[in-house]
Amino acid sequence: MPAKYRLSRTDFTRMRGFKRVHGTLFSLSFGSIPERAVPGAACVVSAKTAARATTRNGIKRRCRAALLPVMRDLKSPFVLVVIAKKSAAGASAADVREEISLLARKAGIIS
């Protein structure tokens, strides 16, 4: 993910009151931060979701790759945080792409 789309630690603290939509593989938390002029995104995978670091990194890699097309189609500079569920560990890259674009449409942030 390009550096301009990455979220900082302070961006995470400003995320109170964001809306959330749920899918089978991920939950998408979204909202806007007035100080950010460009959209931002992050993928969060906890150790509870996947015990091994290699599995967590694989989920994050697939998630970030699926987020790039969504980031380009955003209606306004939203901040997106994708939180992985346990079922995401066995999902293919195509499944992850489909789920993230479905969640973004469900949230109404892309057309």
- The CATH number of whichever domain residue 87 belongs to comes to 3.30.230.10
Q: What pLDDT score was predicted for residue 45?
A: 97
Contact (Cβ atoms closer than 8 angstroms) between residue 49 and residue 59: yes
Per-residue pLDDT at 94 exceeds 80:
yes
Q: What pLDDT score was predicted for residue 76?
A: 82
Domain count, the chain: 1
Q: Which range of residues forms the domain containing residue 101?
A: 3-107
Residue 110's pLDDT band, with cuts at 50, 70 and 90, is confident
Element (H, E) at 104: helix 93-107
Phi, psi of 13 (to 5 degrees): -75, -20
How is residue 14 written in tokens?
């400003």
Element (H, E) at 41: strand 40-44
pTM confidence score: 0.90
CA–CA separation, 111 vs 105, rounded Å? 6
Q: What pLDDT score was predicted for residue 74?
A: 86
| pLDDT per residue as tens digits for the range 22-66 | 999 999 999 988 888 889 999 999 999 999 999 999 999 999 999
Number of DSSP helices (H) and strands (E) in the chain, helices first: 3, 4
Per-residue pLDDT at 13 exceeds 90:
no
